[in-house]
Amino acid sequence: MKIGIIGGGAAGFFSAIAAKENYPDSRVIIFEKSQKLLSKVKISGGGRCNVTNGCTSIEELCKAYPRGGRQLNKAFQIFNTSHAIEWFESRGVPLVIQEDNCVFPLSQDSQSIINCFLREAKKLGVEIKTGVGVKSLRSVGKMLELQFLDEKLQPEVFDKIIVTTGGSPKRKGLEWLEESGHKIEDPVPSLFSFNMPAEPITRLMGVVVENTIVSIQGTKIKAKGPLLITHWGMSGPAILKLSSHGARILSECEYNFTIQVNWVNELNSDLVADELRIITEAHSNKILSNIRPFSLPVRLWLYLLDKIEIPADKKWGELGKKGVNKLMNVLTNDEYSVKGKSTFSEEFVTCGGISLKSIDMSTMQSKACKNLYFAGEVMDIDAITGGYNLQCAWTTGFIAGKLK
């Protein structure tokens, strides 16, 4: 059997290795359009490679995928985070689970993951061809024929093909698959930071607030976690999660919207007001700048006081009911205007791709083209940060490699 893998990234290598392990006598060939293999793995996690997540609950795992979570439920029963950890460690790559459940190689170097894949591929006899882009595919009887971008290359025929080309930033990059009968969900960016050119809070760049709740005004979309103030606006896990869950809506409004920030991670505003009243009674003679509620960063606390026009040298006992209410409101319902986004071009994640309606998710086989399979981000599956996107590559690659 001759098996073609289109794409030399995370899902490509994982499915190629799985296919070769399942069918040792087959010929497996990876075709990579660029000259670089596993380029996104290289830069993942800031070059450390956030290889998966320590979450072991399949129900919770599925919640990390704004698109595709429900359909991945059964897939995760076949190959989940625990299986991924065992897979790498059994192949000589010890892993470490951080407090936030992100999983990295013990070496803290993505090259450890890349070396593992290259080593396994070589050991199994997987062929790798770089600089070979695919132009189109078509059925030829029970076989599949690939035509290449380089017209000097002759078309090749395969028994099975697995498409692992990753996310495409534009629909045009998916047209060759649309032509073979697959429904395409328009790709839009996911996992991006927010630009706030008119907001003076950018003067606080570098400030991190560990526990926030951020929501998109006018929607029910919200996210919790650390928030980073940058020189262009806001980033950090809470913002990236919000961008992931709101990817479609934010694209439709052309990235002009308002967010509401709860700086104290407490939805019950009465409890926040009570905490402020307790401080006013216990520290009535102390000035506001010296007592920070909820351990807020100093620079942020002073900024918020200035924003609501309460002097930092005012005494807590002089706040009064009106002052407490103003503080409570800015701590739990602070608003910022977003005008645009910033994406990390090399590490981009897209919402969209091959519609899951075109794929049998129990096998990853195309419903439109027999013997054609998909794995990874080329499908309309994407996740929040934390190793979940790579886990999808491992899970779908493992199942596609069964070639059932």
Q: What is the CATH number of the domain that holds 219?
A: 2.40.30
Angle between helical axes of 111-124 and 10-22 (0-180°, round to 10)? 30
Residue 70 lies in a domain: yes
Confidence (pTM): 0.91
The 10s digit of each residue's pLDDT in 282-315 is: 999 999 999 999 999 999 999 999 999 999 999 9
Say if residue 61 is in the same domain as residue 168.
yes
Residue that terminates a domain, selected from 342, 369, 388: 342
Say if residue 179 is in the same domain as residue 142.
yes
Give the pLDDT score at 349. Answer: 84
Residue 273 lies in a domain: no
The 10s digit of each residue's pLDDT in 357-369 is: 999 999 999 999 9
Question: Cα separations (Å) of 201 from 65, 272, 288, 301?
Answer: 31, 22, 20, 11
Say if residue 113 is in the same domain as residue 140.
yes
Q: How many domains does the chain have?
A: 3
Instruction: Read off the pLDDT of each residue in 117-142 and give the average, rounded to a whole number.
Output: 97
- Judge whether 264 and 330 are in contact, CB under 8 Å: no
Say if residue 216 is in the same domain as residue 321.
no
Say if residue 32 is in the same domain as residue 178.
yes
Q: How far apart are CA 179 and CA 317, in angstroms?
A: 71
Say if residue 177 is in the same domain as residue 197.
no
Say if residue 37 is in the same domain as residue 90.
yes
Residue 110 has pLDDT above 90, yes or no: yes
Residue 343 has pLDDT above 90, yes or no: no
Give the pLDDT score at 75. Answer: 98
Residue 271 lies in a domain: no
Instruction: Read off the pLDDT of each residue in 155-167 and give the average, rounded to a whole number.
Output: 97
Say if residue 74 is in the same domain as residue 184.
yes
Q: How far apart are CA 228 and CA 208, in angstroms?
A: 5
What is the CATH number for 94? 3.50.50.60
Residue 272 lies in a domain: no
Q: How far apart are CA 299 and CA 326, in angstroms?
A: 18
Give the pLDDT score at 345. Answer: 53
Say if residue 34 is in the same domain as residue 147.
yes
Residue that terminates a domain, selected from 307, 322, 342: 342
**pLDDT mean across residues, the chain:** 96
Say if residue 315 is in the same domain as residue 376.
no
Q: How far apart are CA 222 and CA 94, in angstroms?
A: 35
- For residue 362, what are the domain limits? 2-189+348-400
- Judge whether 347 and 42 are in contact, CB under 8 Å: no
Residue 275 lies in a domain: no
The 10s digit of each residue's pLDDT in 223-272 is: 999 999 999 999 999 999 999 999 999 999 999 999 999 999 999 999 99
Question: Cα separations (Å) of 91 from 88, 98, 141, 285, 399?
Answer: 5, 21, 39, 63, 19
Closest CA to 49 of 8, 6, 98: 98
Residue 274 lies in a domain: no
Residue 344 has pLDDT above 80, yes or no: no
Residue that terminates a domain, selected from 322, 342, 362: 342
Residue 155 has pLDDT above 90, yes or no: yes
Q: How far apart are CA 263 and CA 96, in angstroms?
A: 31
Say if residue 73 is in the same domain as residue 142.
yes
Residue 34 lies in a domain: yes
Say if residue 66 is in the same domain as residue 94.
yes
